[in-house]
Structures are given as structure tokens and as C-alpha cells.
Amino acid sequence: MEIEQRPEAMGAAVAQPAQAPMQAVIGSDQVKKFTSILQEYKTGKARTEQRIIASEDWWKLRNTQQEQKETNIGKDGSYTSVSGWLHNVLVSKHADAMDAYPEPNILPREEGDRGEARMLSAIIPCVLEQNHFEDTYSNAMWQKIKTGTGVYKVIWDKSRLNGLGDIAVECVNLLNIYWEPGITDIQKSRYFFHTELHDKDLLEQKYPELKGKLKGKDFVSTKFLYDDHVNDENKATVIEVYYHKYMQGRKVLHYCKYVGDTVIYATENDTQRPTEQQIDPVSGQPLMIETGLSAAERGLYDHGMYPYVFDALFPIEGSPCGYGYVDLCRSPQTTIDLLNSSFVKNAMAGSIPRYFVRGDGTVKEEEFLDLSKAIVHTSGNIDENAIRLIQHNSLDGNYINVLDRVIQELRETSGNTETSTGNISSGVTAASAIAALQEASGKGSKDSTRAAYRKYSQVVEISIELIRQFYDMPRKFRIIGQYGAEQYISYTNQGLQPQYQGNDFGQDMGYRLPVFDIAVSAQKKNVYTKISQNELAVQFFQMGFFNPQMTDQALMCLDMMEFDGKDGIMQKVSQNGTMYQKLLQYMQLALAFAQQYDPAAAESIAQDVLMMTGGGAPAPGGAAQLTQSDHISGNGKNETTRMKNARSRSSQASQPS
């Protein structure tokens, strides 16, 4: 993946004389130091790599090798059973994760950033969709469930969009990345390495400076046990290293990409500042104006973070990686396989008769074993001592009960119970009861999903920072507007740049950087959740919660309830009631003017007022009925004199003359 080499800088353009080229800071000596540190990191990661590879073998139902390392069963080449109980757990947990696929909601911290937050809430999903993020999220969830950790990489790829550049989000192989041993937060690691194998001929075509230098491998990453034979003879390891330095009191992220001892690119070697040509207003001559800092001064990214996000399932102290369901359930799965193997062997022993034959016996074994022959010849006397059936003792039911208990242990330990998978065997048939059971049984999956949402927020946060730094040219997006309508917008990072706050009481308030909070919710909800939400909406409608005459009562009731989207419903109900009250006041005021200047229109307006206030069509006694209904609903208790007069005029206008 290509890295942007000369980021645009913030600040005013200043004319500067051309700088003399400086000697490269990162050379072969520094690269050798990087490789030495990488070897230390790989040694410290050895146990984690072994656990990751073992978990992948269990996932592929090739756990026989792993079980034979822990037991003596099967080493003689005899039959061993491989069941899919653990495999089913992993599939179910991945389905839960994808059922709660996230979507971001960007929230402003300043009132003035509300519009920018709405734009980002629509644009970020577009950027992720262009990266096929659903596939990336799915792969990361597989990593997380199997090996215990999913890893995202969020960088700026300048090769995208025909050189315009865009954000790239991908899932990273855990065996190809390395960090300082003993740390939990990768941002605290002194260095961070990412290695990839590339074809040597393609590397030489892309980077001519590598020609003739790709003869061996200075570093080789651990590999999974692939199904296919992977030949890496004509490949070279490309190493990317990220590291922090403090420059002028701030933490700067630097980057180096190299192969062997040859540097391909290093931010510390990039001392050229971006420039643009402008016309001098005095002399009219063209000038080259520097528009920002060089990569050596500014670093790779302004956010200063390693562009990697680790999502651990069950956290481990002293490591950014966690352990997964394979590590949690491998012991009961091994017991299940051993018991199944014993059962099958016992069944085979009972279904195939075996005999003791005396050495001096005269039975022709070929005829005896050939079931198609009705006569078996013998040359001597036959008694029970010459040939005797080997007795077989069948297993009793206790062993089956043990197997069932181990299976139940695996399901309870992983949280993959019958209720969570939709198999309700307790006689419950009501949809609401089933939903309640599944809600209670899915606590483990919900906890994992919330942890994934927190890491997803970090992915979105890094994406916003990359937009802030690199989206200096207008870009077109198709977003979904209100009620699903498509909208086409043009967007730049202008609203994300530092904003001058002016002077306050003669004091320069400086610049403010727009920052945002990220709220994550499930894009799709399960069927039972949708049904319950829809039923709740229908109940609200039937009970009159959306009736503007009952705004106060509805708000009091909603305030006591708990459900998703409650705040939004309360806002809409409150706004609806406010609009109703204002409209009623304006119509009554219009009625007063109509009675004075246009009596013919007064009767029509009076009818509208009566219908809005619940009086229905005008009839004798309509005004009294209206007043009574309003007092029942509580609208007339604190009525002003102007309102009472308007009601009286409305009543008079509605009566026949």
C-alpha cells in the first residue's frame, strides 16, 4: 500500500528560498537497526503466533494434530473423531457480529459544527463502502472470534482515484505485524512493524533502485499452514516501520519503507516542502511559494497515531492481542472428540465379530471368513477350544451422559446455547417470550459487539483525521438524504480546518479545531427487534401519543419508558405539540380579524378551529362541547383572557344567525 509522501500543511503560505538538499537521515545503518529490533519483537511474539496458528487449525477441523500434541490418543494411526461443535460456535458468533453491523453517527461538540457533523455522518459510510468495509469487517470478526484479535489498518493511499488519493481500510494478517513485547496499547510501542511478501520482479519494476539487490531474505514472517503449497523463493519481504519522535514539543509519527538494506521511502528523508507558483503583486514576476511543512518536519500523519486498530475478544494483560473462542473451548472439544473416537471404536468392535483360533487348529480361515460359502471344511475335531468368539462388552448409558454433559459445557462456556441459536425446546411459543429469552441469552455476543463498536469508532476517528489532512480538493459523493432520497454533494476539508475565533474583550482567542464525538449503532437489527419496535410504534399511535392535544401527557409517559430512539420520539412529540399550539393561536387570531373585516370567512375559520380542538363539525352547543373536551384534556385549566375571548368569538361565529 502506497503512503502519501508529501502531506499538505496547514497555515499561511510564505515565500522561502530554495533549500539545499540534506543528507539522508535514514540509511542502511538505520535500516539494519530497524531489522534487529524487528527480530527482537518477533522473538517476543513467538507464543502468540503459536496460539494463532493452532486456532486456525482448529477452525479448519484439523485439530487432530493439536489434540495429539496434548494426548496419546491417535498416535498409533487409529481412527480419531473430529466433530464440529466448536466450529458451530465460531459460525454462530460470527453471525451475531454481522447481524449487528455498525454505522456511525458523528456528533458535534460545538454548535457551529452541527452542519459539518451531518455531512461527515453521510460521507464516512460512503468512504467505507468504497473500501468494501463490510468484507473487511467480516474478516476482522473471523480473526477476532478464531484467534482472539482482529486488526484494522487505516491509511492514506495516494494511488487511489487516479492519483487524487483516498482513505484505505483493510484487515491485517496478525502474523505480519510486530510490536514491542509487554505493552497493551500499541500506541505506546516504541516501534511498529508491518511486513509483506512481494514478487521480486515487480518490486524492481516499481522501484528501480532495488535492481540487483534482492538476492536473499533478511526477515521471514511466520506463515499459516495453507492448503496450497506456497512458494516464496522469488519473493522478497517489504518492511514498513512506524515510530514516534518528539519535535518542537509535539509527538510526530515517522515512517520508513525498506527492503533488505535499501530504503524505498522515509519521512525523515523527505525534506522538500510543498510549493505552488504565485504572481508577485509588486513586480508581477512568478514566485514559488511554500505552502506548508515537509514530511520530515510534519511527520506522516497529523493525528500522530499508528494507523492500526486492535479489536481483542477476551483481553490479556501485557499484550494488545486477546484470546478467542478456540482457546476457551478447545478443552471440551478435545474431550468430545476423544469420547466420540472411543464410541466409534467400541461400535466397530461390537459390529465385527472376532475369534480366538488355536494355533494347531485345522479350520480353513479363508472359507471361514468368506460369508458366501455355506460349508467350511476342517480336517480335525472342532470344539470350543479350537475356535472361540471374543466376547464384546457394550458401553452403558453413563458414557453417553458424560458426552452430553461435555457438549453442554462447551455450549454454556461459549454462550452458544439452544436459545441463542433459535432452538426453543422449553415449550415457549409466544414471539415476545422468545425474544426475551434470546435477549437474555445473547449477553456475551452483545458485549463483544460493543467492544467491536468501540474499535470501529477509532477507525472512524482516524478516517476523519485523514479527511481533515488530505481532502483539500472537492470530491463528489452520493449520499442518502431524508426519507431515502439520493443527494449528490461536493465536499472538502475546509470546515475541518482550524477556525479563527476572533477577539473577545480585546483578547485574541486564537484558533479552534473542530472535533466530534462518534456514536455507533447497529445498521441492521434482528427480526424480533424490528417486530417489537414496530409493535411499539403502533401502540403509541393507538394510545394517542402523536395527538398534539395530548403532548404533555405523552411526554410524561415517554419519559418513564426505556427503548431505542426514545429521545428522538420525545423531540418530535414536543415539536408537534408546540407547532399545534402556535397554529391554534394564529387561527384564533385570524378568526378575530375575520369577524371584524370579513364575516363571510369567519364561519369557515371557526369550523377549522373547532375541528383542530376536537369539536368536529359545528353544531348547536358546539362551543360548549369544545370547551368541555378541552378541559378534560387539560388544555383549558390555565387559559388566558385572550384565549377565552377568542373561543367566545369562535362560538358566536359558528352559531346560525
pLDDT, tens digit, 9 for 90 and up, residues 70-107? 554 555 556 677 888 888 899 989 998 998 899 998 99
Top pLDDT among 137 and 22 is at 137
Buried-exposed string 260-293: b where 16+ CB fall within 10 A, e elsewhere: beebbbbbbbbbbbbbeeeeeeeeeeeeebbbbb
Kindly indicate the confidence band of residue 176, based on its pLDDT and cuts at 50, 70 and 90.
very high
pLDDT, tens digit, 9 for 90 and up, residues 129-168? 999 999 999 999 999 999 999 999 999 999 998 889 999 9
Contact 574, 550 (CB under 8 A): no
pLDDT of 188 > 60? The answer is yes
Helix (H) or strand (E) holding 533: helix 527-542
At residue 388, φ and ψ (nearest 5 deg) are -140, 135
pLDDT, tens digit, 9 for 90 and up, residues 250-304? 899 999 999 988 999 999 999 988 877 777 777 778 877 777 788 999 999 999 9
Q: Is 614 exposed, middle or buried (0-12, 13-18, 19+ CB in 10 A)?
A: middle
Question: Which pLDDT does position 15 carry in this prediction?
Answer: 42
Contact 547, 572 (CB under 8 A): no
Q: Which amino acid is at 204?
A: E
Buried-exposed string 315-327: b where 16+ CB fall within 10 A, e elsewhere: eeeebbbbbbbbb
Which range in 140-154, 387-401, 494-508, 553-567 is most confidently predicted, on average pLDDT? 140-154
pLDDT, tens digit, 9 for 90 and up, residues 498-551? 888 888 777 877 888 898 988 888 766 555 566 667 777 888 888 888 888 788
Contact 397, 420 (CB under 8 A): no
Q: What is the helix, strand, coil percentage profile of the chain, to 5? A: 45, 20, 35
Average pLDDT, the chain: 80
State pTM to two decimals.
Answer: 0.74
Q: What is the DSSP letter of 493?
A: S
At residue 613, φ and ψ (nearest 5 deg) are -90, 5
Rounded to an integer, what is the distance from CA 29 to the centroid of its chain?
40
